[in-house]
Structure formats: structure tokens, C-alpha cells
Amino acid sequence: MPGDSEDPNAEVQYHLEVGPGDVADCVLMPGNPERLDKITPIWDDHEEVASHREYRTATGTYEGEPISVTSTGIGSPSSAIAVEELARVGADTFIRVGSCGGLQADLDVGDLVITTGAVRQEGTSDEYVREDYPAVADPEVVQALVAAAERLGYDYHTGITMSADSFYPGQSRPGFEGYEQPESQRIVPGLQEANVENIEMEAAAIMTLANLYDLRAGAVCSVFANRETGEFRTEGETKAAETASLAVKILAEMERVKAEAGADTWHAGLSLD
């Protein structure tokens, strides 16, 4: 039965309870399990194939292309488990779809941030590789997300993301009864000075693992709050979901064009016409 064994070589995965054939090559990865109910209606069709703990998984098609979604819960530890187990049943492309806090004044609530690389302030990726190993998004995934946002007419920004392990002191917010550690209030200003675009809690680990395993990953997040202006609204979730779903379609188009051209890597000389 699913969940009865911790064998990493078992066909049905211990945490996600998915097996071979349950997921598509490309998987969207929101944190909140409830976001599946906002993502899957965008698709042509879908079937929920597993639900266990924070992990809900559905598989379907978007504009004729196979696509899956797995929720990860909050943070990098559970996201890394999802990457591990999805990869073991055949997934090779992971797109984090979530919300974030914007750090730069020109990021409006509802805008999208497409991650090109991430500051590894989370600790999960340190369990895998030395701390100076970079967390970078796959260039083709970035280009597909940008193309999708352009086609949909959504305002977007590209740049560096910081992934934290703490929602409170780790993101310069006070903890219980106002607790702050000495470095806490310097986190946000330091990131702003370093031209970091946004803060969230999963992208760095997802991208680090993808690179270690020769897989592809990227991230698109809706800005819910701007830490510079103080603006906050839960807005833009559907924009991120639509952008990520369309990016999966564009990635499939890119693969077909590369195959026809005999190219190994997508580049500006190729066309999706």
C-alpha cells in the first residue's frame, strides 16, 4: 500500500503517493494545496491522481500538451521532497508557481516575478551541495515564462529571488512578542541594495536540485506585498498559473523546433512561428 514503505526505489512514492505514469514531464509546483483548484480549471482537462499530507497532484492537458501540478506546502524541505519523488516517476521540468514579497519599488502588487537565479538563504539545499553552488533557473524555462507573460499581456519582471526558511525573522518581520535577532532588520535593505527582486521560500531549493540532477526548473510568482511601499493584496494568483501553464505549451513548441533544426539548445536564431 502507498505510504507503507520508505524504500526510495518503490514505484509508488512515499510522500506524494504517485507512481510511474501519474505525472507529465512538466510539473507546476504551487505551495498551497488549494491552488490546484485555481490552476486546473485553466487546463483542457485534468484528473487528481494523488493527495497525501500537503501534496496534491493532478495531471491533465493544456492546449493539448500534457501537464501536471503538485502542491508542496510551505518551504524548501517539502519542496525538495516533491522534486525528488516527482523525478523518480519521470518528471524532468519543474516550475514553481506562487506568491512573493516584492523588494523593489517598481514591483506593483499583482505583477509577476520570473526568477533567473536565487539567493540560497534556505537551508535545504545546503544538505545537498556546498554553499557557494549557484541556484539558477534553466534558461529555456525562463524564456518560456517570459514569452508566456508577453503573450498574455501581463506585467512581469525578471531577476534574482531570495528563498528564506523563515516567514518572520528570516524576512525581517518580528517574531512572537516582537522577537528579533540582531541581523534581522538588515536583511531586506541588504537584498534591495543587491538588486534582489523578491522573497519567497521554495525556488532556490527547487532550482538547486534540478541543476544537480540535470533537470530543468524555474519560478514565476505573483507579488502579494511590496516591502518597500508597504502595499499588500492577495492578487495575481491566476496570472502566475496561466503564465506557467502557457510556458509548458511553449516549452513543447521549443522542443519541436529544436528537433526540426537539429539544435540542442534554444537560441535567438530559432523561431516559434
Is 270 part of a structural domain of the chain?
A: no
Total tally of structural domains belonging to the chain: 1
Three-state DSSP class for residue 264: coil
pLDDT at 6: 65
CA distance 207 to 116: 10
Is 7 part of a structural domain of the chain?
A: no
Is the pLDDT assigned to residue 3 strictly greater than 80?
Answer: no
Instruction: Name the phi and psi angles at 245, rounded to 5.
Output: -65, -45
Instruction: Name the phi and psi angles at 51, rounded to 5.
Output: -155, 115
- CATH code at 253? 3.40.50.1580
Is the pLDDT assigned to residue 272 strictly greater than 90?
Answer: no
Q: Which domain holds residue 190?
A: 26-258
CA distance 96 to 151: 20
Is 177 part of a structural domain of the chain?
A: yes
pLDDT at 255: 96
Which one of the listed residues 63, 173, 228, 231 is annotated catalytic? 173
Q: Quick check: is 85 catalytic?
A: yes
Q: Quick check: is 173 catalytic?
A: yes
Q: Which three cell numbers stand for residue 103?
A: 523588494
CA distance 91 to 82: 11
Is 4 part of a structural domain of the chain?
A: no
Average pLDDT over residues 259-266: 94
Is 8 part of a structural domain of the chain?
A: no
Which one of the listed residues 17, 65, 85, 237 is annotated catalytic? 85
Is the pLDDT assigned to residue 266 strictly greater than 60?
Answer: yes
CA distance 60 to 115: 25
Q: Residue 210 CB: number of other CB atoms within 10 A?
A: 23
Q: Quick check: is 88 catalytic?
A: no
Q: Which three cell numbers stand for residue 135?
A: 541556484
User: What is the tens place of the pLDDT at every residue in 171-193?
Assistant: 999 999 999 988 888 999 999 99
Residues forming a β-bridge with 136: 117
Q: Quick check: is 267 catalytic?
A: no
Is 15 part of a structural domain of the chain?
A: no
CA distance 177 to 149: 41
- Helical (H) or strand (E) element with 69: strand 65-70
Which one of the listed residues 15, 35, 96, 157 is annotated catalytic? 15
User: What is the tens place of the pLDDT at every residue in 116-164?
Assistant: 999 999 999 999 999 999 999 999 999 999 999 999 999 999 999 999 9
Is 119 part of a structural domain of the chain?
A: yes
Q: Name 148's Cβ contacts closer than 8 Å, sequence gap at least 6.
A: 242, 243, 244, 246, 247, 249, 250
Which one of the listed residues 35, 56, 96, 227 is annotated catalytic? 227
The dihedral through the CA atoms of 240, 245, 246, 252 has a sign that is positive
As a whole-number percent, the residues of the chain with pLDDT over 90 amount to 87
Is 12 part of a structural domain of the chain?
A: no
